[in-house]
Amino acid sequence: MKNIPIIVDTDPGIDDFFAIMLANSHDQFDIKAITTVAGNQVLEKTTENALKIAELFKMKARIAKGAEGPINCELRTAGNIHGNNGLGDVMLPDTTRKLDKDYAWDVIYQEAVKSEGKLQLIAIGPLTNVAIALLKYSDLHKYIDKIVIMGGSTESGNRDAYGEFNIWVDPIAADIVFKSGIPLTMVGLNVTMKAGIIPQQLDELLSVTCKFDTQIRQLFTFLQKSYAQVGYSFIAIHDALAIAYVMQQEVLKCKPYYVAVETRGRHSRGRTVVDLDRSHKTKALNAHVAIDVDKEMFIKILKDMLKYYN
């Protein structure tokens, strides 16, 4: 029964593809919208990818275009990981599906109000759209049940020593979201990299019969090459873990912490500064931070997803 209204705010992106594929396979998710943001690739490409993904999975969700760049800084993309088209240069079938007439931030607000406070907003790209929605609609916080982000890290980053890509692209937007007061769960690199898929596990996944086997193989193969080029023998589909958590919270161990976003540091701009020792006695614990992952459970969730598309 589709009783959990969600919106996925995304920058497809290879791992975003798997996140949307996973969300669509969950029988309790009522996916109200997919909202696109610039990140892994420029907005035109992430939006085209979202339309094609929605077509591939015959999704009824609204597809709404969002921000073409971060707040008050230049866009920096991740073509080295996700390819020139943002999806590993895999060509999904064309679509005549049309974009929503409204912008992402307006759709987020509309669907939040219509969902009467039950909407869960899952943000798996830079947080620009979410920040704009919060800035434009001062009562949005009343209508959002929770925000779950793939972003940040309690340890090192993936764009520099401390910057995880989604936060690093738009630290000002992230700062606005972390200060919003809306219940927030942070699924960071410290768990998504720990849930990295080694070749043997990838073989297990690819042995599951799935009607999108061709596209999946191409996407995983591209990601393996990208990760190998930066020294990893496994691949991490970061965004899918955020969706898996919303589906089955036991997949992650989370604890409340005070998290600040570094918006000005010369060497650490875009860092999520997690007060693990709780030294800030007066600061509100503004985020549930994922600190461990049940990797076997995550792999099973992915296998079950592939079986759904059998």
Q: Which residues are catalytic?
A: 238
Residues with Cβ within 8 Å of 118's Cβ and at least 6 positions away in sequence, in order, are 4, 5, 145
Q: Which of 48, 111, 164, 262 binds ligand RIB (CB under 6 A)?
A: 164
Q: Does 174 sit near Ca ion (CB under 5 A)?
A: no
Q: Which of 40, 77, 128, 190 binds ligand RIB (CB under 6 A)?
A: 40
Nearest approach, Cβ of residue 19 and Ca ion (Å): 7
- C-beta separation of 130 from 121 below 8 A: yes
Tell me the residue ranges of DSSP E strands in the chain. 4-10, 29-36, 62-65, 119-123, 144-150, 184-187, 252-257, 259-261, 272-274, 287-293
Number of amino acids touching ligand RIB (CB under 6 A): 16
Q: Does 166 sit near ligand RIB (CB under 6 A)?
A: yes
Q: Does 241 sit near Ca ion (CB under 5 A)?
A: no
Q: Which span sits near ligand RIB by CB under 6 A: 110-118, 137-145, 162-170, 300-308?
A: 162-170
The encoded tokens of residue 21 equal 């594929």
Q: Which helix (H) or strand (E) holds 46?
A: helix 43-56
Q: Does 49 sit near ligand RIB (CB under 6 A)?
A: no
Q: Does 128 sit near ligand RIB (CB under 6 A)?
A: no
Q: Which is nearer to ligand RIB, 166 or 180 (CB)?
A: 166
Which residue from 95, 100, 91, 32 is spatially nearest to 65, judged by alpha carbons? 100
Q: Which span sits near ligand RIB by CB under 6 A: 7-15, 57-65, 204-212, 275-283?
A: 7-15
Q: In what order do the strands lie in the sheet with 29-36?
A: 62-65, 29-36, 4-10, 119-123, 144-150, 184-187, 287-293, 252-257
Residues near Ca ion, by CB under 5 A: 11, 13, 16, 124-125, 239
Residues near ligand RIB, by CB under 6 A: 11, 13, 15-16, 39-40, 78, 124-125, 150, 158, 164-166, 238-239
